[in-house]
Amino acid sequence: MFRIAPLAAKLSVALASAGFACIAHAALVTAPVSGMPKINTDSPLYVVAVDRGVTPAQIKLGISSGAEAENMNVVGTLDVQQGLQERGIKSNTPYVIYEVCNLVLGAKILQSTPEFGAFAPCKIVMYESHGQLKLMTYLPTYALRYFPKNAEAEKVAKELDKQIITVMKQAKSGGL
């Protein structure tokens, strides 16, 4: 029987010594909200499965009430499925983009890193994949990688990550 991990490590070393770049395994860190999946620090996206039986309407209410509890506002909603249907394009798959914002925290980042505005407002996307509803966001802490290091902006982005993941936790369970 082959032991895959040692073989993979030897292959990785051999390829690296031959000048080939190797992709490292994803780094997983504990989410800032208990009971939520770990964060893959190598990915800009954070995705969670919605609990079985939770409807899109319950998710919408969960995002709205969760955002309010976290001092955030839902500043926009784009129902892609509805928009396609209004244009005569058949769509049976739900896909809704919720734009959420904590204006106070957002302003703190924008003061020091105005380019961060390209990633604002923060988004929580509800979509269906293989019959399972999911929620996805782009983590503010990941977005900051594109800009010069700024300790204050990183601190604020971590707080935004926590707030967004808290809202997602509430929405995935259909909670109010």
In a domain, 48, yes or no: yes
Per-residue pLDDT at 175: 81
In a domain, 36, yes or no: yes
Name the 3-class secondary structure at 83: helix
Per-residue pLDDT at 13: 45
- Cα separation of 5 and 95, whole Å? 39
In a domain, 16, yes or no: no
Per-residue pLDDT at 60: 97
Per-residue pLDDT at 86: 95
In a domain, 21, yes or no: no
- Cα separation of 46 and 90, whole Å? 28
Position 19 confidence tier, pLDDT thresholds 50, 70, 90: very low
Predicted confidence (pLDDT) per residue in 23-75, tens digit: 455 799 999 999 999 999 999 999 999 999 999 999 999 999 999 999 999 99
Half-sphere exposure of 126 (CA within 13 A, CB side): 29
Supply the CATH number for residue 137's domain.
3.30.310.70
Per-residue pLDDT at 148: 86
Q: Phi/psi of residue 53, each to 5°?
A: 90, -10
What pTM does this model have? 0.82
Range of the domain at 43: 26-172
Both tokens of 102, joined, read 């904590």
Contacts of 97 (CB under 8 A, 6+ apart): 76, 77, 78, 80, 123, 124, 125
In a domain, 75, yes or no: yes
In a domain, 84, yes or no: yes
In a domain, 44, yes or no: yes
> Is the pLDDT reported for residue 16 higher than 70?
no
> Is the pLDDT reported for residue 146 higher than 80?
yes
In a domain, 131, yes or no: yes
- Cα separation of 74 and 16, whole Å? 47
Q: Which helix (H) or strand (E) holds 78?
A: strand 73-79
Radius of gyration in angstroms for the set of CA atoms belonging to the chain, rounded to a whole number = 19
Number of domains comprising the chain:
1
Per-residue pLDDT at 157: 94
